[in-house]
Each structure stands twice: as structure tokens, then as C-alpha cells.
Amino acid sequence: MYIGKVIGTVVATIKIDHLDKRKLLLVDMLDLKGDETGYYDIAVDVVQAGPGDTVLVIDEGNGARQILDLDPGAIRAVIVGVVDEVSIAA
Amino acid sequence: MKFGRVVGTVVATRKYEDLEGVKFLVVHFLDENQQPTGNFEIAADATEQAGPGELVFMVASREGSQALPEWFVPIDLAITGIVDEVEVETGPRRNEPTAHWYNLDEGD
């Protein structure tokens, strides 16, 4: 999992059935200082996140399929939380 | 999923039987601003409607092989959607932290 920032929304009418009625958000991975890294992903949102939010992203297929109740499911990245606070101790 | 721009088509008459009927396209990987990265790959078109010039998004690896109607075929990159619109956040919520970020070593 990683922490990212929602930097935009993606709209697609033509898409595979697994993505039907799913909200797609553009997420940029953050580093330990909270800065954008430029590594991005188009992720499915299940927590009503929106542009600008700091979010927790799972990037693993089995977890994604479990969350979205799909099998098979061609989805890897899912936004599973909106982050309030991060503390880095070392 | 990553953005890609379809730049060409691939035809292979003799191929593994599970790949029968699968449309292969040449895609140029794009960064988050939809600018070309210089990396190209061959993707199977799971939307069955993508064509050269189009902005698409793709899923890779094991998930890619689950995008086609016949799943677990030997592919590692699938086009899963054709992009209509990308709206990028440029306001203050993009530039300022939206979570409390404490770095304990720096005393804040």
C-alpha cells in the first residue's frame, strides 16, 4: 500500500464491465515528506475521495478483487482510505 | 492503471490458440500529464473499440489477463478503457498538504 494524493479525475464511457459505475481517480504517490513523486496510477475509489485528498491506495490484485467483489477482476489499484494524519518517526 | 496512446496495430496469423480473436495494439506509455514517456508495449484491447490515436488506460500483469472475456489468456497488458476526459486538480488542494504530516525527527 502507499499514500498518494488525488490529482484528478478520469472519465471513460467505453470501458470493461469490471469498471462499470466505478469512479476513477488519478493518484500521485507521495514520498516520506508528503511531496508528489511523479509516479502515478489510475485507481478505483471506494471511499468517496476527491481531488486534493491524501489517500491510502492498495495496489494488489487479490485485495482489489476482494474489495470490489469481482472474480475475475482486471483491477489493481483501489483507494481504500482518506488519510488524516501521518507521523514519520525516523 | 496507466495512460497510453494507441499508435499502431499488430497482426499475427499464427499464434497460441487462446489468443484467437484478441486484438493487439501498439501503445505508447504516457505520464500523468498524458505526455509520452518513450516506452512502448503491445496491449490486448479488452474494450474491443480502441484504435490508433486514442487515449486509453491499461492494466498490466496478472490483472491484464483477467480483462478479456476469456480470462487467464497469456497476455500481460490490456486496454481497459478509452478516456473521454481527464480533469487535473491545479488549485490550492493540489499544492498544499491535505493531511497533517508530522516528521518527528525535525521537531514539528
Q: What is the mean pLDDT of each run of 10 residues along chain B (108 residues)?
A: 97 92 96 96 96 97 91 91 96 92 75
Chain B residues whose CB is inside 8 A of the A53 CB are 93, 98
Average pLDDT score, chain A: 96
ipTM: 0.92
Q: What pLDDT is recorded for position B69?
A: 86
Interface of B with A in 8-37 (CB under 8 A): 31-32
Residue B99 to residue A33, Cβ atoms within 8 A: no
| Residue A86 contacts residue A3 (beta carbons within 8 Å) | yes
Residue A85 to residue B97, Cβ atoms within 8 A: no
Residue A46 per-residue DSSP state: S
DSSP states along B8-39: EEE--SS--GGGTT--EEEEEEE-TTS-EEEE
Residue pairs spanning A and B at CB distance below 8 A: 137
Question: Distance between CA atoms of A85 and A29, rounded to whole angstroms?
Answer: 16
pTM: 0.92
Residue B81 to residue A51, Cβ atoms within 8 A: no
Grid cell of A15 as nine digits: 470501458
Q: How many angstroms away from the CA of A33 is the closest CA of chain B?
A: 8
Q: What pLDDT is recorded for position B106?
A: 67
Residue A19 per-residue DSSP state: G
Q: Which residues of A31-50 are buried (b: 16+ CB within 10 A; e: fewer)?
A: eeebebeeebbbbbbbeebe
pLDDT tens string A19-52: 999 999 999 999 999 999 999 999 999 999 999 9
The domain segmentation of chain A, as residue ranges, is: 2-82
Residue A68 per-residue DSSP state: H
In a 13 Å sphere around the CA of B2, the CA atoms on its Cβ side amount to: 25
Cα–Cα distances in Å, from A89 out to A4, A33, A84, B51, B104? 19, 12, 17, 49, 5
Q: What pLDDT is recorded for position B70?
A: 84
The strand ranges marked E within A17-83 are: 23-30, 36-45, 54-59, 77-82
Domains of chain B, first to last: 2-106 (2.40.50.220)
Q: What pLDDT is recorded for position A90?
A: 72
CATH of domain A2-82: 2.40.50.220
Q: What pLDDT is recorded for position B68?
A: 92
